[in-house]
């Protein structure tokens, strides 16, 4: 790695011979010189200038944290993966908060619909436990993307339709028993159950695909793709929620509670389903890391600008330090900081 033109390479003398200063000294000066020499540019067509202004000391601190973390974890000492940032903070409290909020919403809405607090509390508690268990894997899941191709997926379509039929039959049985053995009740609940399965579990299983590190274009593209997949899941859940709300309105249940339940619980249900929650885990983790000063709140913007500055390079979905010596120097800073911190 050569230093920028604005940073002269100093030398000292010893015994009549010149020798360069230590690599550590060059690394110490490299980041401030580079950040100061390349001012932000709003035009995305300028690939070697950042889009945002960053403090050089913050840049060094954040890169030291990243380099130290990937070396401490040890599983991959080369690649900086945005979805692995979710592993840099404890997940227990976040999962507990998400499950509590979900359980409280369910309890309130079910109580409003049934006018039976005990049923609402029991349903909310079960929902909170389910969310707590289902979110456990979110923070270790790889990114995914949405794909709608049909070719080569007919077997999955057949399994999805068969499972939807089973869900519909189970729903029809519940409807028949709960409506006093009326065929209309069985038909309505059965059709609703089958449709709900197709629009949530079936559709999400259909569109979800894991992102391959060999085909990914860039870290930012994989981040956007997983975000779009998350949006699709939420929309699927919203569709189901509105369908259930429409049935509730036809059944003359509490209209505000039914509509609120469809609008709130539907998307929540869709978000929980699926196998790729990397963007969600990233979104839940970054604010905690930012509060501790580990990374900026706009972490992806920072990584992108670090790439534009030449501090990082991209390799498929990963960022990598362009210079191994700089990475090691920054990692030592992070390790010393951890030792000095209380």
DSSP letters spanning 175-232: HHHHTTS-HHHHHHHHHHHHHHHIIIIIHHHHHEEEPPTTT---HHHHHHHHHHHHHH
Find out whether 282 and 86 touch, Cβ atoms under 8 Å.
yes
Q: Answer yes or no: is pLDDT of 210 > 90.
A: no
DSSP string, 279-335: HHHHHHHHHHHHHTTSS-SSHHHHHHHHHHHTSEEEETTEEEES-HHHHHHHHHHHH
pLDDT higher than 90, residue 262 = no
In whole angstroms, give the CA distance from residue 320 to residue 112: 53
The arrangement of strands across the sheet holding 318-321 comes to 79-80, 318-321, 312-315
3-state secondary structure of 140: helix
Helix (H) or strand (E) holding 20: strand 17-20
d(CA 303, CA 299): 6
User: Residue 331: is its pLDDT beyond 60?
Assistant: yes
Per-residue pLDDT tens for 101-159? Answer: 999 998 998 888 878 888 889 989 999 999 999 898 999 999 999 887 767 667 777 77
φ, ψ dihedrals at 8, nearest 5°: -70, 145
What tens digit of pLDDT does each residue of 59-94 get? 999 999 999 888 877 667 789 999 999 988 888 888
Residue indicated by tokens 């509390």: 121
CA 165 to chain centre: 33
pTM value surpassing 0.75: yes
pLDDT of 108 reads: 92
Q: Which stretches does DSSP call E strand in 98-179?
A: 144-146
- The secondary structure element, H or E, covering residue 80 is strand 79-80
Is 5's pLDDT higher than 50? no
Which sign does the torsion angle of CA 51, 57, 59, 62 carry?
negative
280-319 pLDDT tens trace: 999 999 999 999 999 999 999 999 999 999 999 999 999 9
């Amino acid at each position: 790695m050569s230093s920028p033109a604005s940073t002269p390479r100093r030398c000292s003398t010893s015994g009549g011979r010149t020798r360069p200063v230590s690599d550590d000294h060059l690394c110490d000066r490299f980041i401030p010189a580079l950040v100061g020499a390349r001012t932000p540019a709003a035009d995305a067509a300028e690939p070697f200038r950042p889009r945002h202004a960053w403090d050089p000391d913050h840049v060094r601190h954040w890169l030291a944290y990243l380099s130290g973390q990937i070396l401490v974890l040890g599983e991959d000492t080369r690649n900086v993966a945005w979805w692995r940032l979710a592993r840099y903070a404890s997940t227990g409290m976040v999962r507990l908060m998400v499950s509590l909020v979900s359980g409280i919403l369910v309890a309130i809405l079910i109580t409003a619909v049934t006018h039976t607090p005990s049923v609402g509390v029991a349903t909310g508690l079960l929902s909170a436990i389910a969310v707590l268990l289902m979110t456990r894997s979110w923070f270790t899941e790889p990114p995914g993307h949405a794909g709608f191709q049909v070719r080569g997926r007919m077997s999955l379509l057949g399994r999805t339709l068969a499972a939807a039929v089973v869900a519909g039959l189970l729903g029809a049985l519940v409807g028949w028993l709960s409506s006093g053995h009326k065929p209309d009740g069985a038909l309505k609940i059965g059709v609703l159950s089958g449709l709900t399965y197709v629009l949530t579990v079936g559709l999400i299983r259909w569109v979800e695909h894991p992102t391959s590190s060999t085909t990914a274009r860039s870290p930012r593209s994989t981040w956007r793709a997983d975000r779009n997949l998350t949006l699709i899941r939420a929309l699927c859940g919203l569709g189901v929620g509105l369908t259930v709300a429409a049935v509730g309105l036809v059944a003359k249940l509490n209209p505000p509670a039914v509509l609120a339940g469809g609008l709130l619980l539907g998307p929540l249900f869709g978000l929980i389903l699926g196998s790729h929650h990397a963007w969600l885990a990233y979104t839940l983790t970054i604010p905690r890391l930012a509060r501790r000063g580990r990374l900026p709140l706009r972490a992806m913007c920072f990584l992108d600008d670090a790439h534009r500055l030449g501090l990082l390079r991209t390799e498929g979905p990963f960022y990598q330090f362009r210079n191994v010596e700089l990475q090691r120097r920054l990692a030592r800073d992070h390790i010393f900081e951890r030792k000095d911190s209380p």
